[in-house]
Amino acid sequence: MTVRKLPAVGLAVMVALLSMGASAQQAPQPQPQAQQGSADQVPPIPPTSEAKAMISEKFKAADTNHDGKLTREEAKAGMPEVYKHFDQIDVKKKGYVTARQIGAYWQSKTQKQMQKENPIWN
């Protein structure tokens, strides 16, 4: 069932990216504000390689001891949006979160938002 939805989701992502490019050409000033706002937040778009790379980069910068885990303090300093949702991301209550857990949380949150906006996708 998920396999059938994959092409449709891919098409939706492509359309969204194309429309973002078109709007960036028409109104160049709002784009930098959107990028600036997304610097501290999880991107509101579906997972793409660009968005995943951005999260990975922020995770590496926030992981000050380079152990592959973010403690609550590291998240507070380097990824404030992760800090706000730390308890929801740390489902096993280990006191730290990994990049994979952040990605899973972000993907779940994005899917729920897409479902609210357009229930036909589910």
Per-residue pLDDT at 38: 44
Domain limits at 26? 2-121
Tens of pLDDT, residues 11-29: 455 445 545 444 444 444 4
Instruction: Give dist(CA 11, CA 91) in Å, integer.
Output: 32
Instruction: Give dist(CA 89, CA 8) in Å, integer.
Output: 28
Residue 23 sits at φ, ψ, to 5 deg, of -70, -30
Q: Domain with 26 in it: what CATH number?
A: 1.10.238
Q: Please tell me the total count of domains within the chain.
A: 1
Q: Which two tokens stand for residue 40?
A: 């501290």
Q: pTM for the complete prediction? A: 0.56
Q: Are 36 and 65 within 8 A, CB to CB?
A: no
Q: How far is CA 56 from CA 3, 79, 83, 122, in A?
A: 26, 11, 16, 28
Per-residue pLDDT at 98: 94
